[in-house]
Structure 1
C-alpha cells in the first residue's frame, strides 16, 4: 500500500503547522518539514519542540532563507526531500505541500488512488511551445543569469537583466535537456525521487544552470522528471486543487467551500484561509475517516469562472476595425431570434423554414457544429466567427442570394446584439422568453459544466437561484439596451398574441404567423 512522505515548506503560523503535521502523520504517513530560515526563530523552536518525538516526522538538515522566484525554494525542497528519503525508507510517494494546503480526501482514498495510478503527477509542459506563461519574462528566465530577488531587489534585478541584454551576455541551455514548466505542487514516486537525487549529484552543469534561472521552482522538478521518466509514466497534472483569479492571485477557500472541495478530483487544495478554522477541523476529521465516500463532479473551476464573471459587464477594448469599417448593407435585413433554451429557438426556426423562404441559421456564434456553407475558413471556429462577425454575415447573405437572413443568438451575447443593432442594415430582434423549472436549470448547469452527475444536492440548491438570476439579468440587459425593433414573445402568452409578434417580426400575413405560433410542443423541454 502507498505510504506518503509529505514535503512541507512553511514559514508562519506554527500552531497550524503542528496540527497539519500531526493530522497527516496520524494515518501512518510521513512528513519532512523545511521551515524558512528567514522566519522567526521562536516559531521554529515551537514546531520542533512539539513534533520532535513523532517518529513519522523529520526536519530538513539545513534550513534555507527562502525568497520568491529564487533557487532557494528549490534548495529548501531538496533538503527536505533528502531528509525524507533517508529517514523514511518505506515511503513510496513524495508529495509537495505548503502550510496553506489541506487534504480534501481521506487517507484511505489517497492511498488507494496512488496504488491505482503508478505514475508521477507533475505539471510538465514545454517551456517554449506551451502557453503556460501568460505575461512577463519568458525566454529571459533561462538565457540570462538572475542573482537578485525581483521582489526585494527590484532595481538590481532589472539593472542586471538589462545590462546582460545590452552586452548580449546570453548563455546556452544544457544541450540534452528540454526545459519544462508547470506548477510546483507535485507527487512523485520514490524511484523518481531517487533518480533525481542521483542526477543532481552527477550533473553539476545542470545544477549551475538552474541556480541562476528565474522562478526555478516552476521548471526544475518539471524538467528533470520529463528527462528521467518515460512519458507514459507521467500524468501532466497536479493532485492539488488550486485556482487563480483574473488578476493572477490564488483563490482562497473558506468554511462554506467544504462540499465544493470534496467533489473535486484532487487529494489536496490550496490555499485555505487562516480564518477558516471550521473548514480545517472538518477536513482534518475527514482525513482520518476510513469509511468516507466521495462523489466526484469536478465542476470547481467552471463554477468559479461563472460566479466571478457575473456583473463584470462592459466593453474592455475599443471597437475592432471589422466592426467599424464594414456593414451588412443598408438594403439588408437581419432577423435575430434570442432564446436561452436553444431547442425552443431551433423548433421555431424549423417552423419558419416551412412557412417562409427566408434562410434561417441556428446558433452559429454559440455552437461549433452549426451547419454552415464553406466560406473559405472564416466559419471554421467560433473564435473566427465572432472576430469576423460582420464579414461572416455578409458572406452568408451573398451565399444565399438574399437580403433577409434569420440567425439565433444566446441572450448572453450582448456584444453581438449591440454590434449588429448598430449596423446600417435593418435589424429586428425577437426575444423568446421561456419558463425555467428547477429540473431544467439543473440540467443546464450540468450541460455547461457548472455541475456534474455527482454534484451534491445542497450545492445544486444553492446554485439554482444564481443561475435563475443570471438568466433574468441577461434579459434585463437586453431590455435596458433599448434596442429598436425589439419584440418579446413569452411562453406564458397565448397563441394569438405570439402570432401577432411573429407576424411583425417576419413581416408575414397573420395566418402564416399563426401557423408558426401554434406548432406542437414548441416550448416543451
Structure 2
C-alpha cells in the first residue's frame, strides 16, 4: 500500500503546522518539515517540541531563509526531501505541501488512488511553446542571471537585469534539457525522487544554472522529471486543487466551500483561509475517516467563477481599436434574436427564414459548432469569430448578397449586442423571454459546467435560486440598455402580443408575423 512522505514548506502559524503534522501522520503517513529560517525561532522550537515524540515526523537538517521567486525555495524543498528519503525508507510517494494546504479526501482514498495509478503527478508544460506564463518576462527568466529578490530588492533586481541586457550577457540553457514549467505542488514516486537526487549529484552544472534563474520552483522539478521519466509515466497535473483570480492571486477557500472541495478530483486543496475554522475541523476529521464515498463532479472552477463573477460590471477585454473603427454599413439592417434557450431561438428563426427568406445565422458568437459558410478561416473557431465579429458579420452580408440579416445571441453577450447597436447599421433586437423550470435550470447547470453528473442534489438545489436570479439579471440588463428598436416575445404573453412583437421587429405585416408564430411547440423544452 502507498505510504506518503509529505514535504511541508512553512513559515508561520505553528499551531496549524502541528495540527497538520499530527493529522496526516495519524493515518500512517509521514512528514518532513522545513520551517523558514527567517521565521520566528520561538515558533520553530514550539513545533519541534510538540512533534519530537512523533516517529513519523522529521525536520530538514538545514533551514534556510526563503524568498519568493528565489532558488532558496527549491533548496529548502531539496533539504526536506533528503531528510524524508533518509528517515522514511518505506515511503512510496513524496507529496509537496504548504502550510495553507489541507486534505479534501480520506487517507484511505488517497492511498487507493496512488496504488491504482503508478505515475508521477506534476504539471509540466513546454516553457517556450506553452502559454503557461501569461505576462512578464519569459525567456529572460533563464538566459540572464538573477541574484536578487524581485520583491524585496526590486531596484537591484532590475538594475542587474537591465545591465546584463545592455551588455549582452546571456547564457546558454543546458543543451540536453527541455525546460518545462508548471505548478510547484507535485506528488512523485520514490524511484523518481531518488533518480533526481542521483542526477543532481552528477550534474552540478544543472544546479548552478537553475540557482540563478527566476522563479525556479516553477521549472526545476518540472524539467528534471520530464528529463528522467518516460512521458507515459507522468500525469501532467497536480493533485492539489488551487485556483487563481483574474488578478493572479490564489483563491482562498472558506467554511461554505466544504461540499465544493470534496467533489473535486484532487487529494488536497490550497489555500484554506486561517479564519475558516469550521472548514478546517471538518476536513481534519475527514482524513482519518474510513468508508467515505466521494462523488467527483469537478465543477469547482466554473462554479467559483460563476458565483464570484456576479458583482462584475465592466468587461475584462476591451474591443480592439481597429474593430470599433469598422462599420457594418449605414445601409444595412441587423436583426438580433436574444434568447437563453437556444433551441427556442433556433425554432423561431427557422420559421422566420421560411416565411421571409431573410438569411438567419444561429449562435455564431456563442456556439463553437454554429453552421457557417467558408469565410477564409475566420469562421473556424469561436475565438476568431468573437475577436473579429464586425469583420465576420460584414463577410456574411457579402456572402449572402444582402443588406438584411438575422443572428442569434445569448443574453450573456450583452457586450456584443451593445457593440452592434453602436454601429452605423440599423439594429433591431428581439428578446425571447422564457420561463425556467427547476429541471431546466439543473440541466443548464450541467451544460455550462456549474454542476457535474455526480454533484450532490442538495448542492445543486442550493444553486438554483442563484442561477434563476442570474438569468433575470441578464434580461434586466438587456432591457435597460436603452436599445432604440427593442421588442420582446414572451412565453407567458397573449399570442396577439407576440404577433405584434414579431411584426414590429421584422417590419413585416401582421399576416406574415402570424404565419411565423404558427408554431405551437416553440417554447417546449
Q: Quickly name the TM-score band, shorter chain normalised.
A: over 0.9
1 CA distance for matches of 2:270 and 2:51?
23
Provide the secondary structure at the position in 2 that maps to 1:364.
coil
2:336 corresponds to:
336
Q: Deviations over 1:410-457 (max 9, x none)?
A: 111111111211222221111000001111111101101111111122
* Contact kept? 1:74, 1:216, Cα under 8 Å: yes
The answer to whether structure 1 residue 301 and structure 2 residue 309 are counterparts is: no
Do the aligned partners of residues 249 and 336 (structure 1) sit closer, same or farther apart at CA in structure 2, a change above 3 Å counting?
A: same
CA displacement 1:219-250 (0-9 Å, x = unmatched): 11011000000001011100000011111111
RMSD: 1.3
- Using the TM superposition, give the Cα deviation of residue 505 of structure 1 relative to its aligned residue in structure 2, in angstroms: 1.4
Give the 3 Å change call, closer, same or farther, for CA 391–137 of structure 1 in structure 2: closer
- After TM superposition, the structure 1 stretch with the greater mean CA deviation from structure 2, 144-153 or 47-56, is 144-153
Deviates more, 1:53-62 or 1:322-331: 322-331
Deviates more, 1:510-519 or 1:331-340: 510-519
Query: How far apart are the structure 2 equivalents of 1:8 and 1:205?
Result: 27
Q: Is contact 1:181-1:222 (8 Å) kept?
A: yes
Distance, in Å, in 2 between the alignment partners of 1:365 and 1:128 is 31
Residue correspondence of structure 1 range 68-467 to structure 2 within 5 A = 68-315=68-315, 319-467=319-467
Deviation per residue, 1:166-221 (Å, 9 max, x gap): 11111111111111111110000000000001001000111111111111111110
- Contact 1:323/1:419 (8 A) holds in 2: no
Q: State the alpha-carbon separation in 2 of the partners of residues 515 and 70 from structure 1.
A: 71
Deviation at 1:317, TM superposition (A): 6.2
Give the secondary structure class of the aligned counterpart of 2:411. Answer: coil
CA offset digits 1:113-166 (Å, max 9, x no partner): 001111000011111111111111211111111111111111111111111111
Distance 2:131 2:317 in 1: 22
Distance 1:148 1:288, change over 3 A: same
Distance 2:23 2:316 in 1: 47
Partner deviation per Cα, 1:459-485 (whole Å, 9 max, x = no partner)? 212221221111111111111111011
Equivalent-residue separation in structure 2 for 1:346 and 1:126 (angstroms): 42
Match of 1:380, SS state, is coil
Aligned to 1:8: 8
TM-score (ref. length: structure 2): 0.98
Distance 1:203 1:324 in 2: 55
Partner of 2:35: 35
2: CA distance, partners of 1:29 / 1:326:
63
What's the secondary structure of 1:518's corresponding residue? coil
Q: Is the 8 A contact 1:361 1:408 kept in 2?
A: yes
Instruction: Mark the CA change 1:463 to 1:375 in structure 2 (over 3 Å): closer, same or farther.
Output: same
CA distance in 1, matches of 2:319, 2:5: 54
Deviation at 1:385, TM superposition (A): 1.4
Q: Deviations over 1:47-106 (max 9, x none)?
A: 111111111111111111111111111111111111111111110000000110000000
CA distance in 2, matches of 1:371, 1:517: 24
Compared CA separation, residues 185 and 384, structure 1 to 2 (3 A) = same
Alpha-carbon distance in structure 1 between the residues aligned to 2:154 and 2:330: 57
Q: Structure 1 regions of 5+ residues with no counterpart?
A: none
How far apart, CA to CA, are the structure 2 residues paired with 1:266 and 1:280? 17
Q: Give the Cα separation in 2 of the matches to 1:409 and 1:116.
A: 46
Partner-residue secondary structure (3-state), 1:21: helix
Are 1:46 and 2:46 an aligned pair? yes
Q: How far does residue 360 in structure 1 lie from its aligned partner after superposition?
A: 0.9
1:330 and 1:14 map into 2 onto residues whose CA distance is 69
For residues 305 and 213 of structure 2, the distance between their equivalents in structure 1, rounded to whole angstroms, comes to 33
Say if 1:322 and 1:390, in contact at 8 Å, map to a contact too.
no
Structure 2's unaligned 5+ residue stretches are none
